[in-house]
Chains A and B, each alone.
Chain A
Amino acid sequence: MRFKAEVRVRLRREVLDPQGAAVEQALQVMGHERVANVRVGKLIELWLEASTPEAAQAEAEEIAQRLLANPVLETFQVSVEEARDWPAQPSSVKR
C-alpha cells in the first residue's frame, strides 16, 4: 500500500532559536506587532510503501528518530495517511 508520512521536526523548548527570533523581528518591522513569538522547524515529507498504516507509521518514526531529528536539539511528530498522489517522475537517487 502507498502512504505519505509527514514528519514535523521542532527545536526543543529549552533550545534557543535565533532564526525564529530573526523572523519575529522582521514581522515587527513589517507591522505584525502582535506576534508574540516565532519558532522555526522543519517539515519532511516521505512517500513510502508499507503493508499497513501501522507499519508505515513505525517506519516513518524510525526514520525520524535515526536521521530527521537530532534528539539533543529536536523533537518530532509523525502523521501518516494513504498517499493521495505518488511521485510522477523517478527521483534523482540512483538505485
Chain B
Amino acid sequence: MARFGVLQFPGTNCDMDILRVLRELFHQEAELVWHRERDLSGYDVIILPGGFSYGDYLRAGSLARWSPVIEAVADAAAKGRLILGICNGFQILTESGLLPGALQRNRHLRYVCDWTYLRVERDDTPFTSAYQKGQVLRIPISHGEGNFYADASTLDEIEKNGQVVLRYVTPAGEVREEANPNGSLHHIAGIINKQGNVMGLMPHPERACEKILGSEDGCGMFASMIQLLTEGRVGHAR
C-alpha cells in the first residue's frame, strides 16, 4: 500500500476531496499534513491540493511557497519521490521552482468552472501510465489563474524534453483556440519536471473519479501512482 501525504495550507480547500478518493475509492493510506510540518519521510507520494492558499494574495501560491513544509517537498523531489500539484498545488510548485514556468491570470480575465478535455501526451510517467498516449480525458477545471506561461526558450525546452503531459483539446482530441479555457501557451494543462517525478496540472482529477460527478477519467492518475508504488519502486530513490 502506498502512503499519501496531502498537504494543507491556510486556505487549501480541495484536500478533503483528495482524501476521499484515496481512502474510499482506492483504499490507500492517506493523511493530511499541515504546512508547518518539516518531515515528509513517511510518505511515498506528496500531493499539493487545490484551493486558495493565503487567499491567493500577491500571486497565487507565492506565499504558500515559503511555508516550512516546502523545504521538505523540495528535498523529497530531489530524492525522486512522487510529488503531484493540482491547481493551486501546481501554482505553488512553479513558484517554488520545482516546476518551470508560471501560472498567470486567465487570458479573458474570467474565473472558469467547467469541464475540459485533456489529451494525454505521455503515458510513460508515474502519473499517467494507466492511460494511453492520445487518450482524451474529461476533467473539470475551476480557476482564475491557470494561464500557463514560460519564456520562449523555456517553452521550447519543455516541449523538446517531452515535459508536457496534458494538453487542452477538443472532445475529438484536437488542439484549437476555442478548446483552451485560459490562454495557456501551447495549450498546456499539465507538465512534469525533467526527472519525471514532479507533476503539476490545473484540472482536478479528484473531481472526476465517480460516475455520479460526471466523469471517472481522473481515476487513472491515482491508479498510475498506486500501481507504480505497489508493484515496483522504479526511479524511487530514498
List chain A positions with a Cβ less than 8 A from chain B. Answer: 14-16, 18-19, 22, 67-68, 70, 72-73
| Pairs of residues from A and B, 7 with the lowest C-beta to C-beta distance, nearest first | A72-B102, A73-B102, A18-B107, A18-B109, A70-B102, A70-B59, A22-B109
Given the complex, which residues of B lie within 8 Å of A15, measured CB to CB?
A: 104, 149
Contact of A72 among B63, B66, B150 (CB under 8 A): B150
| Number of B interface residues in the complex (CB < 8 A) | 21
Q: Given A70-B59, A72-B150, A72-B151, is A18 in contact with B105 using a C-beta cutoff of 8 Å?
A: yes
Contact status B107-A16, CB under 8 Å = yes
Interface digits, B204-235 against A, CB 8 Å rule (1 contact, 0 not)?
Answer: 00000000000000000000000000000000
Partner of A18, one of B63, B102, B108, B152: B108
The closest CB in chain A to the CB of B107 belongs to A18
Taking the closest CB of chain A, its distance from the CB of B162, in whole angstroms, is 21
Q: How far is the CA of A67 from the CA of B55 in the complex (A)?
A: 16
Distance (whole angstroms) from the CB of B214 to the closest CB of chain A: 30
Check: B95 CB closer than 8 A to any chain A CB: yes
- Indicate whether B101 reaches chain A with its CB closer than 8 angstroms: yes
Residue B58 at the A interface, CB < 8 A? yes
| A74→B44 CA distance, assembly (Å) | 35
Docked Cα-Cα span, A87 to B102, in Å, equals: 34
Expressed in whole angstroms, the minimum distance between the Cβ of A11 and any Cβ of chain B is 9
Which residues of the other chain, A, contact B170 by a CB distance below 8 angstroms?
A: none
A65 CB, nearest partner CB in chain B, Å: 13
Determine the distance from Cα of A73 to Cα of B66 in the docked complex, in whole angstroms: 18
B residues near A67, Cβ cutoff 8 Å: 58, 62-63, 66
Expressed in whole angstroms, the Cα–Cα distance for A62 and B176 within the complex equals: 41
A14 to B95, CA, bound (A): 19
Q: Is the CB of A73 within 8 A of B107?
A: no
User: 27 interchain pairs (CB within 8 A)?
Assistant: A14-B151, A14-B152, A15-B104, A15-B149, A16-B107, A16-B183, A18-B105, A18-B108, A19-B105, A22-B109, A67-B58, A67-B62, A67-B63, A67-B66, A68-B58, A70-B59, A70-B62, A70-B95, A70-B102, A72-B94, A72-B102, A72-B149, A72-B150, A72-B151, A73-B102, A73-B104, A73-B149
Residues in A neighbouring B183, C-beta threshold 8 A: 16, 18
- Report A-chain residues with C-beta under 8 Å of the C-beta of B107: 16, 18
Residues on A with C-beta less than 8 A from B66 are 67
Complex: chain A residue closest to B61, CB-CB: A70
Kindly state the separation between the CA atoms of A22 and B94 in the bound complex, as whole angstroms.
26
- Alpha-carbon distance between A68 and B58 when the two chains are bound, in angstroms: 7
Name the distance in Å between B79's Cβ and chain A's nearest Cβ.
24
Q: Separation in Å of the B176 CB from the closest CB of chain A?
A: 19
Q: Mark B139-160, 1 if CB is under 8 A from A, else 0.
A: 0000000000111101000000
Q: In the complex, what residues of B have CB within 8 A of residue A68's CB?
A: 58
User: CB within 8 Å of A: which of B81-114?
Assistant: 94-95, 101-102, 104-109
Besides A18-B107, A19-B105, A70-B62, 16 other CB < 8 A contacts?
A14-B151, A14-B152, A16-B104, A16-B107, A18-B106, A18-B108, A18-B183, A19-B109, A67-B62, A70-B95, A70-B102, A72-B94, A72-B149, A72-B151, A72-B154, A73-B104
